Chain A
Amino acid sequence: MNIIKSAIVCGLLSMSTLITVNYASAETSFDNVNVDDYGFEKVDKSAEQKRLIDKFSRDKSQMDKAITNTKTLIQKSQGKIYLPELYVRLAELYIEKSRIVYFLRRTQSGATIKSAMESLESNALKIQAIETYQRIINQYPGFIDMDKVHFYLAHEFRELNRLKEMRGQYLTLIKKFKKSELVAESHLLLADYYTDQKKLNAAKKHLKAVLKYPNSSALGIAQYKLAWVHISKKEYKQALKLLEKSIQGPNAGKEVDIDSYGRVDIRSEAFNDMAFIYSNHYKEATPQEALAYFKKYSWSRQSYILVLEKLAYRYLVKKKWSHAGLIYRQLATLNHQPNKLLEYVDNIYRVVKELKSFEHAHEDVKVIVKALSSIKYSIHVPQDVKQKALEDYEIFARDMTTRLHQRAKKSNSVKHFELSSDAYQIYLGFFKENIYFDKMQSNYAQALFNAKRFAKAGNVFERLALNSEQPKDKKRHLYSATLSFYEALKDRETLNYYETVQSQSGLAQTGERYVSSYPNSKEVPNVLFNIAWIRYDEGKFDQSIAKFSDFIKIYPNSKSAKAAVKLIVDAYTIKEDYPGLIEFGKTVAANKQLSKAIRAGVASIASTAQTKMVSSMTVASIDDWENGKEKLMEFAQKHQSSSMGAQALNALFISSKEKNDLKTMQMTGQNIISSYPGSKDADSVLKSMIQASIATSQYRVLASNLELYAKQFAKTDTTKSFLMQAANIRQAMNQPELANRHYRTLLAQFKLPQSERLALTVLLANNEQQQGNVRGAIQAFNKQTKAFNSENLVETHARLAALYSEIAQDNRANQHFQVALKGFNNGQGKGNSVVQEKLSEYLYQQATPTLSKFNDTQLQDVLNQDVVAQKTELFTQLQTSYFSLLDLGSAKWSLLASYRLYEIHDEYAAFLDGAPLPDLSASEQIQYEEIIAQKVAEYRTQAQEYLVAGQQLAERLKSFDPLMTDYETSITQTGQYVVPFSEKEMDNKITIEAFDDVELRTLHNRMSHDPKDLVTLMALAQAYYQRGDTGQAFVIAQSVSDNTQAPLDIQAHAFNLQGQIAIERGFDQLARELLQNALVKEPSHTSAKLQLLNLLNHYGYAE
């Protein structure tokens, strides 16, 4: 369908056509009128006039007929009871006709001004009605509705302005028909009459009379009017009470149809008038109280708006500015009509100017914008009006906003700045095209900043910077933006997520822009710092580190350098980037422009970082030990000679200990000690290594660890103890040279008790001697002579005597012997078997040349007395020597002395027996021979006794020393090397590599878990033995055999193994003892038995 056609149909384009709305037709039927569905009628004015004339003419005609008919009926109804009612109907018809005639004449004349002629016919009809009513009164005094007749009559009198007669009728009604429902209305109408007559007291009297009829529809009007009577007398209190009652009465809000009043809404009238009275009566009421008062009596928003408008205006008139202002603002919240809103704004503006108070400017600007928004986008407001409104009210809004800002500046109150920024925001949200926009925006930014709304301020400053044309402004705004974002982030808790991100990114973006645009500005360091800080704040640590690092490079002396360094350190720490932190530490250390305190601080933190780094690797190694171990090792290697390397090794050491990776532990420990001898952990590391090697019974490693400890920590009690133990182990492992090294150290560096010192010296000397270094042994003793007491000196001298004697330094030997002997004879060294033995040995050795000489001293064919004397002298000397030796009680030397005594006695006996006879007489010769024979026999007897004694002693000692066996063997062995039973070369020395051997590792680990597991311990000893490490095997076995708590069979096993090792070492005597011990512990020990038997057999013991 073509729209244009449709528009024509609707008459849309017939704009020139008069369109009137038939207001008068509200009560008229539309039946005969050509109206459309919507009630609109399109008519020509003359036609309409004609139509009305026709209509009223028809009505008049019909009315005439009705009157005629009524009259006819009256005539026919004379005497009837209902006749008065017919008269009443007739009077009403006259009145109706009077109205129609009036309209007819008015319509016919077409004039706008009423004329007397037009009313002539109408008034005549009214008079007819009056006459009719009077007839009823006169002829039918008992008519039941007589009160109505009087009331209608009074009405018609008023219509005809016959007021006195009207008054008479009302008074009659009031007087005669007290119970009539028309009494109240009559009073009301009489009050009106007196009011018009300015007889207020009379009026008041009648109005008060109405109050006696609470159910009357006249009540509200009466109250209202009575109130006005009070008002006229300035009796506001009473007036207000009456009005309050008026709007709250039973008929309040209902339209009343009282004669002459038409349909009035007395409630609205009364309510609106209350505004006037309230302001007069409650002069001290606050605006809030006023609002509350009227809210209480309002029945709808519309009624509230109307009364408030009146009240506000009233206050305005009375120059109660703050009251008016507050009420207009309240109105602005209730009303949405743009024109009304602007009216309010006008008045508000007047108020604020009068008050010079702009504290509500933010609300007022809001009202302006609310109103202008509707106007601006309305097609119904002409463009010029619209433009003017926009311009005028922009000025209002700007003025109020800036004045509010000024006030805030003056008070410097955050709250005021908040209000000010609110006002600016509203203003700027609407007046965008205004020439003051930029200036207002600048003010807005400042207000926001001062209101501590920093995030918003940053955004606005940034916008200003972007739009500013003046370079100076651009720079200032950009810096302000950066500063605002920074300030926002200082109070993070007040920001939500979005504001936080906005501020963070805003700071970075504006800051970077500022730095690139104004690199020489004095603010640049501050901005750069904050850019870096914000990256940190955002958790963008890499960027933050980079930017802070740049900052430090450029501004090492700035106040913020310290903070920058701290934040870099924090960033690395949070990232757990310890290598990075350590590298940064190096950079800081190298930057001499930074203060010492900063560098020291970072160094300390870097050190901690190293620890953390190692810790993290250590933690990682817990789950994957092999990989973790390798990494730690690599790390330690990579950072060799640094504290980080030391920490890594230490961590590796501890972890390996935890993981029971003993090889790694020992190797790492050694690495720590060798690479970081000064490490504070060295002591604990070494002790742990020692502890571990003890727990695993890895004695060779233990000895090494003890030695390492001794090397590392000289001159402590622990060191002494450890060194002693190391020496013992070395000794037991048959490593005399190593043992001696420790003995020497102990003797030289530590204060030792006499007995201990002597024991160590002896061990040292014995080892030297064992290795064929007699001079070494002598040196050992000589070094200690000054340190020994007299008791020990006797032994030392005795030993030295023996040693010197052994190397044929007789003088020295004798010197020492003499000293020793003197001491011994003085009671020192009594009971000391060593002294006894050594003195014996010395005596024995010293006697040896004499013995040779004695044996060589022989007579030739002649009896040479000198030779005999020399022989005898030597015999005596030897006897003395050997007897002295026997007195010392040394078994070995006593045995040998016995043999020698046997020999010298036998020799001397042979000497005497074979000596030529002296030149004597025969008798003398016989006698001489008898005497000699007797002596010889005596010596031989003694010789035999010595031989037997020696043999018996040898038998008892069962020594493996051939010299100490039976005499025959003894003399054959003199000066010859004794072949041990079964000496072998077995010098494998297994240390840490034991952990590469599955069996050994298993056994060691088992020991580690249960150090009391003696079965495993013996298996370990056996394993070492099998691998040729007899030293280790011996010590392990010894640890078992020394354990008195160990089961006998295991002890026997240990002794047996030790015996076997002793045999292999060539220590047959020791072996015999050990094997014997084995058999003591377990007599049926087959191996021990067999070995011992073989050993004894080797030395010629058959049993």
Chain B
Amino acid sequence: MGICLEKLGFTHAAMDRLANLAARKPNTRIMAYTLEMFEKISRSEPFDYEQIILQIVNDQDFDFINTDISGFVHYYQGIQDAKTQHADWAQDHFSKIPKGTYYYHRFLHYAALREYQQGNKKEAIEKFKDILLLTNLDHKLADESRWALARIYYELNKWQLATDVYHQITTPIVEQASFLLERAWISYQQKDYERAMGFLYAFEAPSFKQFFTPEYFILKSFIYKDVCHFESALSISDEFTGRYGKSLTAIYDRKQASDVQSEELLYVILAKQDVKDRWDFIQALEAEKQLISDIDYESLAQHINSVYSLKISKTSKVMTDLINNEFKVRANLLLEFEESANLMRYEIGVDMYQSVAKAHFETKGNSATNTDDNARSSVVYGFQGEYWNDELGHLQVRLPNKCKSFEDWELFF
């Protein structure tokens, strides 16, 4: 039945049926087939992690399994053991993952991350570099490793290395949203303000809407402030309020994640990986559920309908709980950012004052050189309307430093 359900497109119902069967410890062939199916689907589609991985894959010994799926089983069992602080068992499982397989590579990735989590950044870097040298590395995993490596370089203030690694990431542009911000931070740290602004500007594209974070505004303000575009910096602070004002009002009015006023924040929450996984799973369940109408056999249709309804109910509940918890986290973060925005306004004011003093102090001798900069006092985005350029980092943003041309904005002081 499980096999047929899968063939009919009821992937989840098939997994549910086979998971139930697997829990009853069937013969090795059934178990092997089931595990193969689980492995295949787990790599390509949303699924019920608790049912498949925790209850089936993790809770049983599968000494009979073959090389092809032993990696899958040992990887997840190892991960679960590691998560529950059973390091020696975890290591035993990891040691049994066949070398050169996808799961072995994932284990290597995990091991590198574990080094990083334990504070061994150098070792982590070496491990990630080794992973990236592997010939048959999965593309997605390779990008994940690059991403992690770039972040470690970033933490170590090795901007150029981080940038180089970011350049190697092959994930399509729309999926890069979450690290555009990181690249912008790198450019900012390198004082390459124009490039940082380029990344941020690209980030404004509608496709990235769900990836928006308040941090974007803070960074943008930082950049403008650092080049003394105080008017723009202040306007960013207003922009933040404009964008999240409704959400902030909703928070102050004690609205919940499900209220329409919290919509903007909900977009952000839905982009969170665990929430997204559940959301994708519900979508998949709903899509498969649609197929039930094609089944003429009523009892079967009812049976499958129940399977999906129950699963949707469960996943919805889990997702709702996650969203509600995440809403609190994000709302707290947003309020924190609101405070940061206020502080930013203050800092901009202070910088303006200090700049005035400094500019007055330095004026006369440099007046000739200042003139040129002043002529370009407005920010020019050379790439306007060209969000989808492959070379985001090379987008032309002219952001002249106005720290020595106080006349232009003195009126704001």
Using a CB–CB distance below 8 Å, which chain A residues touch chain B? Answer: 2-4, 6-7, 10, 12-13, 21, 23, 38-40, 298-305, 333-338, 373-374, 376-380, 429, 496-502, 505-506, 509
What residues of chain A lie closer than 8 Å to B311, measured between beta carbons? 377
Check B55–A336 contact: CB distance below 8 A.
Answer: yes
* Interface-side segment among B101-109, B114-122, B213-221, B295-303: B295-303
Per CB-CB distance, the 6 closest pairs between chain A and chain B, nearest first, are A497-B335, A498-B332, A377-B314, A39-B29, A10-B4, A336-B54
Interface positions, chain B 219-264, Cβ under 8 Å from A, are 251-254
Check B331–A498 contact: CB distance below 8 A.
Answer: yes
Please tell me which one of the listed residues B254, B314, B339 contacts residue A373 in the complex, with CB atoms under 8 A apart: B314
Verify if B89 is at the interface (C-beta below 8 Å from A). yes
Check A38–B332 contact: CB distance below 8 A.
Answer: no
Check A498–B23 contact: CB distance below 8 A.
Answer: no
Please tell me which one of the listed residues A7, A23, A301, A501 contacts residue B335 in the complex, with CB atoms under 8 A apart: A501
Check B4–A6 contact: CB distance below 8 A.
Answer: yes
What residues of chain A lie closer than 8 Å to B408, measured between beta carbons? none
Please tell me which one of the listed residues A7, A335, A379, A506 contacts residue B254 in the complex, with CB atoms under 8 A apart: A506
Check B296–A4 contact: CB distance below 8 A.
Answer: yes
What residues of chain B lie closer than 8 Å to A376, measured between beta carbons? 310, 314
A21 to B30, CA, bound (A): 10
Check B310–A379 contact: CB distance below 8 A.
Answer: yes
Check B306–A505 contact: CB distance below 8 A.
Answer: no
What residues of chain A lie closer than 8 Å to B321, measured between beta carbons? 429
Verify if B390 is at the interface (C-beta below 8 Å from A). no
Verify if B60 is at the interface (C-beta below 8 Å from A). yes
Which residue on chain B has the smallest CB distance to residue A13? B297
Verify if B313 is at the interface (C-beta below 8 Å from A). yes
Check B77–A301 contact: CB distance below 8 A.
Answer: yes
Check B27–A301 contact: CB distance below 8 A.
Answer: no
What residues of chain B lie closer than 8 Å to A500, measured between beta carbons? 335
Check B55–A299 contact: CB distance below 8 A.
Answer: no
| Known contacts A12-B4, A497-B335, A498-B328; A3 and B295 CB within 8 A of each other | yes
From B58, B253, B332, name the one whose CB has the most chain A CB atoms within 10 angstroms.
B332
Check A4–B297 contact: CB distance below 8 A.
Answer: yes
Distance of B167 from chain A, by nearest CB (Å): 37
What residues of chain B lie closer than 8 Å to A378, measured between beta carbons? 20, 310
What residues of chain A lie closer than 8 Å to B375, measured between beta carbons? none
Check B16–A379 contact: CB distance below 8 A.
Answer: yes
Check B297–A301 contact: CB distance below 8 A.
Answer: no
- Chain B 56-95 near chain A by CB (<8 Å), digits 1 or 0: 0011110000000000000001001100101001001100
Distance of A639 from chain B, by nearest CB (Å): 31
Please tell me which one of the listed residues B4, B313, B331 contacts residue A7 in the complex, with CB atoms under 8 A apart: B4
A-B contact pairs, 28 of them (CB 8 A): A3-B295, A6-B4, A7-B297, A7-B300, A12-B1, A21-B27, A21-B30, A38-B30, A39-B33, A299-B92, A300-B89, A301-B80, A301-B81, A302-B60, A302-B61, A336-B50, A336-B55, A336-B59, A374-B51, A377-B311, A378-B20, A378-B310, A497-B331, A497-B332, A497-B335, A498-B328, A502-B254, A505-B254
Distance of A362 from chain B, by nearest CB (Å): 17
Check A497–B92 contact: CB distance below 8 A.
Answer: no
| Known contacts A10-B7, A299-B89; A380 and B20 CB within 8 A of each other | yes
Distance of B320 from chain A, by nearest CB (Å): 11
Task: Give the size range of B's interface with the partner.
Answer: 35 or more
Number of A-B contacts (CB under 8 A): 111
Which residue on chain B has the smallest CB distance to residue A9? B4
Verify if B3 is at the interface (C-beta below 8 Å from A). yes
Please tell me which one of the listed residues A3, A39, A336, A505 contacts residue B58 in the complex, with CB atoms under 8 A apart: A336
| Known contacts A299-B92, A336-B55, A373-B314; A38 and B33 CB within 8 A of each other | yes
Distance of B91 from chain A, by nearest CB (Å): 11
A40 to B251, CA, bound (A): 59
Verify if B294 is at the interface (C-beta below 8 Å from A). yes
Which residue on chain B has the smallest CB distance to residue A265? B63
Check B254–A509 contact: CB distance below 8 A.
Answer: yes
What residues of chain B lie closer than 8 Å to A302, measured between beta carbons? 59-61
Check B89–A301 contact: CB distance below 8 A.
Answer: yes
Verify if B343 is at the interface (C-beta below 8 Å from A). no
Verify if B287 is at the interface (C-beta below 8 Å from A). no
Check A377–B27 contact: CB distance below 8 A.
Answer: no
What residues of chain B lie closer than 8 Å to A10, measured between beta carbons? 3-4, 7
Distance of A26 from chain B, by nearest CB (Å): 8
Please tell me which one of the listed residues B1, B26, B51, B336 contacts residue A497 in the complex, with CB atoms under 8 A apart: B336
Distance of B412 from chain A, by nearest CB (Å): 15
Check A379–B8 contact: CB distance below 8 A.
Answer: no
Please tell me which one of the listed residues B3, B7, B92 contacts residue A300 in the complex, with CB atoms under 8 A apart: B92
Verify if B307 is at the interface (C-beta below 8 Å from A). yes
A376 to B309, CA, bound (A): 12
| Known contacts A39-B29, A337-B23; A505 and B3 CB within 8 A of each other | no
Interface positions, chain B 319-376, Cβ under 8 Å from A, are 321, 328, 331-332, 335-336, 339
Check A337–B297 contact: CB distance below 8 A.
Answer: no
Check B335–A498 contact: CB distance below 8 A.
Answer: yes
What residues of chain B lie closer than 8 Å to A301, measured between beta carbons? 58-59, 77, 80-81, 84, 86, 89
A10 to B5, CA, bound (A): 10
What residues of chain B lie closer than 8 Å to A509, measured between beta carbons? 254
Please tell me which one of the listed residues A12, A39, A333, A501 contacts residue B252 in the complex, with CB atoms under 8 A apart: A501
Which residue on chain A has the smallest CB distance to residue B254? A505
Check A298–B314 contact: CB distance below 8 A.
Answer: no
| Known contacts A302-B60, A498-B335; A6 and B310 CB within 8 A of each other | no
What residues of chain B lie closer than 8 Å to A506, measured between beta carbons? 254
Check A337–B59 contact: CB distance below 8 A.
Answer: yes
Which residue on chain B has the smallest CB distance to residue A429? B321
Which residue on chain B has the smallest CB distance to residue A306? B61
Distance of B36 from chain A, by nearest CB (Å): 10
From A10, A305, A336, A505, name the one whose CB has the most chain B CB atoms within 10 angstroms.
A336
Check B307–A501 contact: CB distance below 8 A.
Answer: no
Which residue on chain B has the smallest CB distance to residue A462? B254
A6 to B251, CA, bound (A): 53
Which residue on chain B has the smallest CB distance to residue A38? B33
Distance of A539 from chain B, by nearest CB (Å): 11
What residues of chain A lie closer than 8 Å to B84, measured between beta carbons? 301, 333-334
Which residue on chain B has the smallest CB distance to residue A495? B332
A566 to B209, CA, bound (A): 47
Distance of A845 from chain B, by nearest CB (Å): 80
Which residue on chain A has the smallest CB distance to residue B248? A501
A333 to B8, CA, bound (A): 37
Please tell me which one of the listed residues A7, A13, A39, A496 contacts residue B8 in the complex, with CB atoms under 8 A apart: A7
Q: A3-B291, A300-B61, A336-B54 are in contact. List 15 more A-B contacts (CB 8 A).
A: A4-B297, A6-B4, A12-B1, A12-B4, A302-B59, A302-B60, A373-B314, A374-B51, A374-B55, A378-B20, A497-B336, A498-B332, A501-B252, A501-B254, A502-B254
What residues of chain A lie closer than 8 Å to B60, measured between beta carbons? 302
A380 to B4, CA, bound (A): 18
What residues of chain A lie closer than 8 Å to B55, measured between beta carbons? 336-338, 374
What residues of chain A lie closer than 8 Å to B30, measured between beta carbons? 21, 38-39
A379 to B300, CA, bound (A): 12
Check B307–A38 contact: CB distance below 8 A.
Answer: no
What residues of chain A lie closer than 8 Å to B81, measured between beta carbons? 301
Distance of B403 from chain A, by nearest CB (Å): 23
A497 to B314, CA, bound (A): 31
A307 to B307, CA, bound (A): 34
Check B59–A505 contact: CB distance below 8 A.
Answer: no
A356 to B231, CA, bound (A): 69
Distance of A591 from chain B, by nearest CB (Å): 33
A336 to B297, CA, bound (A): 34
What residues of chain B lie closer than 8 Å to A2, measured between beta carbons? 294
Which residue on chain B has the smallest CB distance to residue A504? B252
A1047 to B303, CA, bound (A): 122
From A300, A305, A500, name the one whose CB has the most chain B CB atoms within 10 angstroms.
A300
Check B335–A335 contact: CB distance below 8 A.
Answer: no
A58 to B378, CA, bound (A): 96
A377 to B3, CA, bound (A): 22
A335 to B23, CA, bound (A): 12
Distance of B367 from chain A, by nearest CB (Å): 25
